[in-house]
C-alpha cells in the first residue's frame, strides 16, 4: 500500500529506472500437516518470465519438477540473467518446517518465482508465479497454493520402478503411505496447470484405490508461506 | 440439535447483557483515558462445525499461543481436543494484559460479540482461538495480531484458517470427537499424532469412503472457516 502510493507520485521514467539489485532474505514454511516438499527452487527473474502459468500447459522442465522433484531442467532453461537459488532446505522440507533464512541478491531481476513438488502426489507442486519484489524495505508475507501440473494422471499409486519421474508417485518421505493400490483414476480432463483438487487417499495401507492416507496426506490451501524481507 | 439450541440461547443472552452494560456504563468509560477497548464480532462460516467458546487475549508481541512447526502447549491441546478454553485464558505469563471468554459455543452461520479491554500499551496484540468441535483436534484463530495501528473508531476484518494441533490423530473414530457429531472424548493428555501445529488437512468422513468415520460430508470445511471484525472503541 505504502509502496504503491510512493511510486505513483514519481514520474514514470524515474520509477522504471529503479530496477537496481536488491538484497532480500527468503524463508519458506511448509504449512501442511503431512506433505513433504522436494528441493525448493527460488528464481529471481524479469517481469516476463514464468516458470509456470495457471491455465497454460506446463513446460517439460516444469513437468520434471512437478512429477519427480527435479529442478535442474528449470534452471538450465532459465535466462542467463536469472538468479536461481536452489534447494533451500538442503533436501526435503518436512511438514510444518521452515527453511533457513536465505539471502539472495536479485541483480537486475524484479520478480520472484518459487516451486517445489509436493509428496506424496503425482504432479502436485507449490507455486509462486512472478511475484514483484517491492521496492520499499520491509517484511512481506506471501501464501502459496498447491497446483497440479496437469501432466500426470492422479492415480495416487506409489511407483518407484522408474524413479517415479514419469509415472506414479515417486515416494512418501514420511514413510506413512501404503502399497498395492489399484489407482484412483486413469484419466485427467484438465491438462493445463491448475489448482490441485487434493489427494483422495484411503485408509488401507495394503490395497484400496490409493496408496496415500486420506487422514494424513491431504491439505487445504494455502500450503506454504514465503516471507520475503527487503533490506 | 439440542446442543446447538442451548448454546444459541446462551449467545443471545450474552449479546443482550453486553449491550445493556455498554448503554449504562459509557460515561465513566470515557473518563478513563488510560484504557484500550476493543469490540470483536466473530462469525462461524463453516457448514457444520460448531465452534467452542472463543478465548480472546490482549498481550505483548513476546507472547504467542501457537506457532506452525512447534508443539502445542497443554493449554492449547485442552482447547483443541476438548473445546475447553480455561487453561488458555489462564495463561498469564509476562506480557499478557487481559483474557476474556466468549459467551458460549457459536453455531454454523452464527456470530458473537466479545469485548476485551486492557491498560494502554504501544505493543498490543490479539489472540483469538476456538475449537471446531466436530473434529479430533482442529482449531481456528489468530495469534499475535498486531493492533498497534488500529486507532479509536476504526475496524479491521480478518479471515481465519484451520489449524491442526497435532496432538491427537485425525482418526474420526467413534468416541474420539467431543462435538454433537459424536459426543465422544475431548481432551486426553496422550499425544498420538505428529506433535507439531500445522494447517489442518481437512476431514475425510464416511461419504469419502472412510467407513469407520463418525463424520460425513457436512462436517467438511475449507479455509477460511471463520471471520472476525475488530473495532477499537477506546
Return the C-alpha cell found at B75: 493449554
* pLDDT in the model for residue A39: 98
Cα→Cα distances A214→A35, A162, A200, B79, Å: 12, 25, 6, 25
* pLDDT in the model for residue A109: 97
Q: Confirm or reject contact between B3 and chain A (CB < 8 A).
A: no
Q: Which residue, among A27, A31, A98, would best test binding to B if mutated, counting the most B CBs under 10 Å from its CB?
A: A31
Q: Do A220 and B164 touch (CB under 8 A)?
A: no
End-to-end CA distance of chain B: 39
Q: Which of A175-184, B69-78, B80-89, B164-173 has the lowest mean pLDDT?
A: A175-184
* pLDDT in the model for residue B21: 38
More confident residue, A36 or A16: A36
Min Cα distance A189 → chain B (Å) is 21
Please state the domain extents for chain B: 2-18+34-232
Residue with cell 439440542: B2
Rounded Cα–Cα distance for residues B233 and B153 (Å): 5
Render A106-147 in DSSP notation, one character per residue: -TT--EEEEEEEEET-SSEEEEEEEEEPPSS-EEEEEEEEEE
Query: ∠ CA(A30), CA(A154), CA(A213), 5° rounding?
Result: 60
Q: What proportions of chain B, in percent to the nearest 5, are helix, strand and coil?
A: 20, 30, 50
The H or E element containing residue B156 is strand B155-160
Please state the domain extents for chain A: 30-231
**pLDDT at B25 > cutoff 90:** no
Q: Do B199 and A216 touch (CB under 8 A)?
A: no
* pLDDT in the model for residue A167: 76
Dihedral sign computed on CA atoms, order A174, A219, A44, A74: positive
Residue A202 contacts residue A176 (beta carbons within 8 Å): no
Measured from the Cβ of residue A81, the count of other Cβ atoms closer than 10 Å reads 12
Render A11-71 in DSSP notation, one character per residue: -HHHHHTT----EEEEEEEE--SS-EE-S-EEEEE-TT--S--TTSPPPHHHHHHHHH---
Render pLDDT for B85-106 as a digit per residue (tens, 0 to 9). 999 999 999 999 999 999 999 9
Residues of B in contact with A96 (CB under 8 A): 68-69, 166, 194, 196-198
The ipTM, to two decimals, is 0.85
**pLDDT at B169 > cutoff 80:** yes
Phi, psi for B24 (deg, rounded to 5): -100, -10
Render pLDDT for A137-189 as a digit per residue (tens, 0 to 9). 999 999 999 999 999 999 999 987 655 555 789 999 999 999 999 999 989 99
Residue with cell 449467545: B11
Q: Confirm or reject contact between B194 and chain A (CB < 8 A).
A: yes
Q: Confirm or reject contact between B200 and chain A (CB < 8 A).
A: yes
Give the pLDDT band (50/70/90) at residue A210.
Answer: very high
Average pLDDT rounded to a whole number, residues A32-53:
98
Q: Which CATH superfamily is domain B2-18+34-232 in?
A: F-spondin domain (2.60.40.2130)
Residues of A in contact with B221 (CB under 8 A): 220
Measured between CA atoms, the residue of chain A closest to residue B203 is A215
Residues of B in contact with A219 (CB under 8 A): 199, 201-202
Residues of B in contact with A32 (CB under 8 A): 198-199, 201
The H or E element containing residue A225 is strand A224-230
Q: Which of A5-19, A50-64, B193-207 has the lowest mean pLDDT?
A: A5-19
* pLDDT in the model for residue B101: 98
Task: List the CATH code of the domain at A30-231.
Answer: 2.60.40
**pLDDT at A3 > cutoff 50:** no
Residues of B in contact with A218 (CB under 8 A): 201-202, 204
Average pLDDT rounded to a whole number, residues B151-170:
97
Amino acid at each position: 500500500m505504502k509502496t504503491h502510493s510512493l511510486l505513483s507520485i514519481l514520474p514514470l521514467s524515474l520509477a522504471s529506472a529503479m530496477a537496481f539489485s536488491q538484497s532480500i532474505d527468503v524463508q519458506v514454511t511448509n504449512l501442511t500437516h503431512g506433505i513433504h516438499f522436494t528441493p525448493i527452487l527460488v528464481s529471481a527473474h524479469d517481469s516476463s518470465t514464468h516458470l509456470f502459468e495457471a491455465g497454460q500447459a506446463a513446460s517439460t522442465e516444469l513437468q520434471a519438477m512437478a512429477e519427480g522433484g527435479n529442478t535442474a531442467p528449470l534452471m538450465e532453461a532459465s535466462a542467463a540473467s536469472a538468479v536461481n537459488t536452489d534447494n533451500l532446505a538442503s533436501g526435503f522440507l518436512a511438514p510444518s518446517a521452515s527453511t533457513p533464512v536465505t539471502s539472495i541478491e536479485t541483480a537486475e531481476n524484479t520478480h520472484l518465482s518459487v516451486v517445489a513438488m509436493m509428496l506424496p502426489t503425482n504432479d502436485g507442486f507449490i507455486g509462486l508465479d512472478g511475484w514483484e519484489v517491492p521496492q520499499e524495505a520491509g517484511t512481506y508475507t506471501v501464501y502459496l497454493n498447491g497446483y497440479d501440473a496437469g501432466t500426470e494422471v492422479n492415480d495416487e499409486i506409489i511407483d518407484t520402478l522408474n524413479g517415479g519421474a514419469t509415472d506414479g508417485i515417486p515416494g512418501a518421505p514420511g514413510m506413512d503411505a501404503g502399497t498395492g493400490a489399484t489407482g484412483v483414476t486413469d484419466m485427467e480432463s484438465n491438462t493445463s496447470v491448475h489448482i490441485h483438487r487434493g489427494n483422495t487417499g484411503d485408509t488401507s495401507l495394503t490395497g484400496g484405490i490409493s496408496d496415500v492416507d486420506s487422514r494424513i496426506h491431504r491439505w487445504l490451501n494455502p500450503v506454504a508461506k514465503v516471507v520475503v524481507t527487503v533490506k | 440439535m439440542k446442543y446447538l439450541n442451548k448454546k444459541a440461547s446462551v449467545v443471545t443472552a450474552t449479546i443482550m447483557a453486553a449491550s445493556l452494560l455498554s448503554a449504562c456504563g459509557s460515561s465513566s468509560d470515557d473518563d478513563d483515558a488510560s484504557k484500550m477497548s476493543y469490540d470483536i464480532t466473530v462469525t462461524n462460516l463453516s457448514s457444520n462445525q460448531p465452534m467452542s467458546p472463543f478465548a480472546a487475549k490482549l498481550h505483548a508481541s513476546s507472547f504467542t499461543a501457537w506457532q506452525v512447526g512447534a508443539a502445542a502447549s497443554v493449554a492449547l491441546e485442552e482447547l483443541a481436543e476438548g473445546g475447553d478454553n480455561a487453561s488458555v485464558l489462564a495463561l498469564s505469563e509476562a506480557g499478557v494484559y487481559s483474557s476474556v471468554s466468549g459467551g458460549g459455543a457459536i453455531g454454523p452461520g452464527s456470530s458473537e460479540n466479545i469485548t476485551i479491554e486492557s491498560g494502554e500499551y504501544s505493543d498490543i496484540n490479539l489472540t483469538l482461538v476456538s475449537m471446531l468441535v466436530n473434529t479430533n483436534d482442529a482449531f481456528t484463530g489468530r495469534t499475535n495480531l498486531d493492533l498497534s495501528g488500529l486507532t479509536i473508531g476504526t475496524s479491521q476484518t480478518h479471515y481465519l484458517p484451520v489449524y491442526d494441533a497435532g496432538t491427537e490423530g485425525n482418526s474420526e473414530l467413534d468416541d474420539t470427537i467431543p462435538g454433537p457429531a459424536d459426543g465422544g472424548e475431548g481432551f486426553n493428555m496422550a499425544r498420538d499424532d505428529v506433535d507439531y501445529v500445522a494447517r489442518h488437512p481437512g476431514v475425510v468422513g464416511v461419504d469419502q469412503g472412510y467407513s469407520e468415520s463418525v463424520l460425513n460430508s457436512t462436517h467438511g470445511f475449507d479455509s477460511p472457516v471463520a471471520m472476525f471484525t475488530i473495532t477499537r472503541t477506546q
